[in-house]
Amino acid sequence: MEPLTTSYPLKYSVHKARIFVVFLSMVLCTTILCLLQLRFFKPKIKDFYSFEVKDSRGRIISLEKYRGKATLVVNVASYCQYTDKNYIALQELHREFGPSHFTVLAFPCNQFGESEPSSSQEIESFAKGNYGVTFPVFHKIKILGSEADPAFKFLIGNCFLLCIKLLVTLVVSLNPGCMLLSGNIKVFINYGEKQELSIQFLSF
């Protein structure tokens, strides 16, 4: 008589193998997710100086190098009715108060009346050649809309006008003009596009 056989051990082995495959797949997926997170995860932006921007030649520059200084962030244009007055005022401010404790950071933008059609390097050469600017002129950016530069978007979203006399708070919806950051990273004044920059700055 032939010995009796049963399929239970075989079924049990197949069941264990399936469990092992599922477990191995879960471990593999978890490992891949962790690696992707480590690769693409970016630290939470705490302030303006946590951003990176491009200089006029397209090289990445960390704004961390300006931390601790009072910083005047301004969008500039070469063919605006305020070009001469603003560049002259900005250079005077930078020369008088900088560069140890104060700096001007200029970001060209063509969104306001298409008054800055030139390339970033041409803009920098224009500013240095015509006005002798010694403050940095960065890569041309967009300030408004879905393609707005992240650093400027952060500033606009955190900016309020501090007026000692009127104590008025404004929402920036058009040209943000100039934004002055104190040494402790607070955005505490926003100069309108048409304000007299030197007078407003010096009287604050």
Element (H or E) spanning 90, and its range?
Answer: helix 83-97
Q: Which helix (H) or strand (E) holds 191?
A: strand 187-191
Q: Report pLDDT for 47.
A: 84
Q: What is the pLDDT of residues 155-186, one digit of tens each?
A: 877 765 433 333 333 333 345 566 677 654 34
Q: How many percent of the chain have pLDDT more than 90?
A: 33
Number of neighbouring beta carbons within 10 Å of residue 14: 11
CA 123 to chain centre: 20
CATH classification of 48-203 is 3.90.79.10, yes or no? no
Residue 120 confidence (pLDDT): 97
Whether the Cβ atoms of residue 151 and residue 169 lie closer than 8 Å to each other: no
Active site (catalytic) residues: 80
Query: Where on the phi/psi map is residue 115: left (φ > 0), alpha (ψ -120 to 50), or beta?
Result: alpha
- The pLDDT of residue 144 is 85
Which of these, 104, 112, 90, lies nearest to 176 by C-alpha position? 112
* 3-class secondary-structure state, position 99: coil
Do the beta carbons of residue 58 and residue 139 sit within 8 Å?
A: yes
Collapsing DSSP to helix, strand or coil, 181 comes out as strand
The segments of the chain whose pLDDT lies below 50 read: 161-174, 184-204
Question: Taking the domains of the chain in order of start, what are their residue ranges?
Answer: 7-41, 48-203
* Angle ∠(143,135,189) on CA atoms, nearest 5: 50
User: Can you tell me the distance from the alpha carbon of 104 to that of 17, in angstroms, rounded to the nearest whole number?
Assistant: 66
Going by C-alpha positions, the residue among 148, 155, 147 that lies closest to residue 50 is: 155
Note the pLDDT of residue 100: 81
Q: Tell me the pTM.
A: 0.65
Q: Which residue from 46, 48, 78, 53 is spatially nearest to 179, judged by alpha carbons?
A: 48
